[in-house]
Chain A
């Protein structure tokens, strides 16, 4: 039983892409107040990448969808993401969009999804595939997706994701109809874009677009703690969430067993290790208890408006969910209750109504 980072086979390439080509998770992009580069956000996502990292990254890009390639473990984990989302929705379901044709909102595909840090689109495309071609049809899967907006600041990855999505006629149809879209943008951009249907400025409703479900798979542990805080990032994620919606993610806990497995064993010299030395930054891993408190903090910050501060009342109706996942060589990923502290785990925060 080895808790591993899903990217264990792709460390060097992923590290390059995460640190170099996702600079928008740094505070300059996450927090508009500190920005000096918000105006050329898109430009810097490529300009700050060194030639060495670009070549590294190109290697990853071409193999992102290779089932036997470096992203294999990430692909294998993907079905569990669907199962975890389904379990969250079974616990408590967001209202979703009103649907006149369907009298049973609990079974209709009426949830809008936002996938932050979609990369090559492993999760986003799989969720888009479950969107019914007929919007009034009942949801084919418990994830009940009506639309999917997937964002990543890395231009190359978005291109790969779009290119791959065209190879599936169903997903291609959703891209053409606009119910599935890849945006080469940052979370902050999404938050700063006003929605056309927002009402008067005095309304307490936020001006930006919000989603029923926001997903954040294997992203939070890659935030550089020296330049930003995960709290600030989580608060922004929660701002994108409608009341009653779920923010769902996965990451790795920072505990002794995970240190042994991820640092000592996985990065041992060949033939024991499968990961180049220096891939994992154990100190960046996040424990469930830390996430829980950041989520609380984030909910309160997300409730802040220009005129008032969101207090503890922002936590009313909040729900928290956490489930460990373990990679067993030969068997694949398994949900193991109580294994949150061993390594990989899924977590979810529900915003109160």
Chain B
């Protein structure tokens, strides 16, 4: 990795240093009435959505002259210099749809990602652990053998994406760009009318940003005014609270257990040789689906949605038992699985493995995902699954993107893709506004973004919610029959399937 140049570091000015630089001027009077520094776009949150927006704005010739700032509580320099051995993978991995990748290519960010660390997959196997009904999203069947195979999605580590976006932003130069790293938003309030001295900022959000860390609290915070304040600050968005936008939703009472796994060699050779498959099996009796998504060098990332109790149990298992549970979850019947997940933990180191070997002999095998043979140390973790949707995405001089606007069930791997689609739409909206003399913070400008994104996000979030609810009803009953009939019908009707596949691809 190339070293960060001095010029590249210049925008990473922490507020304490800025304070020192500006100490000579404007020290008199109360700090409260002091004129804030004015920015066109202030983005709170330096995750993939916030950085994606900044990179998109810097990439377009129309919006590249806007004065932009990013406020992030974590250390962006650490994210910029993230580095991991090629045999190791972060456990925070997202599945990027082709349209998300296309967006990243268009803004020139994709080439800044380490593409050795990303993995395309061309096939997706989804089946119901209760009934065995299955649906196979095989893109290669639909295209001619001479064409390049269509990609369902591209597995990308979030850290790789964040580092690439930072690198892209850095490559755009540091003119009109300020990155407030290690900085929290202390307060957001409306500005004041500067009367004869300046403009009327009474309807502008003014942020007080303060450096994090011990010993820094004595510093007086910087004040920055935003023509457009972007909330890319996650599920508990302070920007959303400032804008007084309510949010609806519920907690699924489920946790997603993630881990980076090493896979054994597959029995069946794939055709073509580099084709990769993602596997997802719904386990109604255990509270949600388990998914195995391919990573380079025969690795995979695991996402297992299950009850908090099961998640705690799985995390407490020793590695061999954990691997046995993962392999069992893709192979055994619900009855076997329910037994295995209630076994005494660590009474005997090999009990889970022995159970799996014994029970596999008595289970007919239809589908054989490659077996997991190793867990990367320190990657087993879990996070709560939630559904949230903000009542609106915009307010005067405020726009919400990504998780600040919507949080959905991860079973379709769409969360980050929706966030990037928000960012693409918002950057287009800002571009249009600048080209037409519109105020980029005005509601008339922002409503273009909101009307483009609100319904698609609600539709996909709702579909994921419905799938989750259908597939957490255990046993044999009308819902179970209906959903297996549904999957079978979808699998047999090519046009319905191709419609679903197009939606999954994000087109």
Contacts and interface: CB of A to CB of B under 8 A. Distances in A.
Interface of A: 67-68, 75-76, 78-79, 82-83, 125-130, 140-141, 143, 163, 166-169, 172-173
A169 B65 contact: no
Given A67-B442, A75-B444, A172-B198, A167 B434 contact: no
A168 B444 contact: no
A79 B439 contact: no
Contacts of B437: 78, 82, 125-130, 141, 143
B436 A67 contact: no
B444 A76 contact: yes
A169 B434 contact: no
B103 interface: no
Given A140-B65, A169-B201, 13 more contacts: A67-B444, A75-B444, A79-B432, A82-B435, A128-B437, A130-B437, A140-B434, A141-B437, A166-B200, A169-B38, A169-B198, A172-B199, A173-B199
A169 B199 CA distance: 5
A79 B436 contact: yes
B436 A126 contact: yes
B465 interface: no
22 contacts: A67-B443, A68-B443, A75-B444, A76-B444, A78-B436, A79-B438, A82-B436, A83-B436, A126-B436, A126-B437, A126-B438, A128-B437, A129-B438, A140-B65, A140-B434, A141-B434, A163-B200, A166-B199, A166-B200, A167-B204, A169-B201, A172-B200
A119 to B, nearest CB: 16
Interface of B: 38, 62, 65, 198-204, 227, 432, 434-439, 442-444, 447
A141 B442 contact: no
Contacts of A141: 434-437
A168 B445 CA distance: 15
B198 to A, nearest CB: 7
Contacts of B444: 67, 75-76
Contacts of B227: 168
B412 to A, nearest CB: 29
Contacts of B62: 140
A163 B193 CA distance: 11
Give the most central of A125, A166, A173: most B CB within 10 Å. Answer: A166
A75 B438 CA distance: 10
A168 B439 contact: yes
Contacts of A129: 437-439
Nearest to B61: A140
Contacts of A82: 435-437
A338 B232 CA distance: 44
B395 to A, nearest CB: 12
Give the most central of A129, A166, A169: most B CB within 10 Å. Answer: A169
A182 B303 CA distance: 61
A171 to B, nearest CB: 8
Contacts of B204: 167
Nearest to B438: A126
B200 A167 contact: yes
A67 B203 contact: no
B96 to A, nearest CB: 31
A140 B436 CA distance: 10
Contacts of A76: 444
A67 B447 contact: yes
A172 B447 CA distance: 25
A129 B433 CA distance: 11
A75 B437 CA distance: 12
A166 B444 CA distance: 18
Which 7 pairs show the lowest CB-CB distances between chains A and B? A126-B437, A172-B199, A79-B436, A169-B199, A67-B443, A166-B200, A67-B444
A78 B438 CA distance: 9
Nearest to A166: B200
Nearest to A131: B437
Nearest to B396: A67
Given A67-B443, A67-B447, A168 B436 contact: no
A168 B200 CA distance: 7
A79 B201 CA distance: 25
A102 to B, nearest CB: 16
Nearest to A66: B443
A129 B227 CA distance: 13
Contacts of A78: 436-438
A129 B443 CA distance: 16
A129 B65 CA distance: 14
Nearest to B195: A166
A126 B203 CA distance: 18
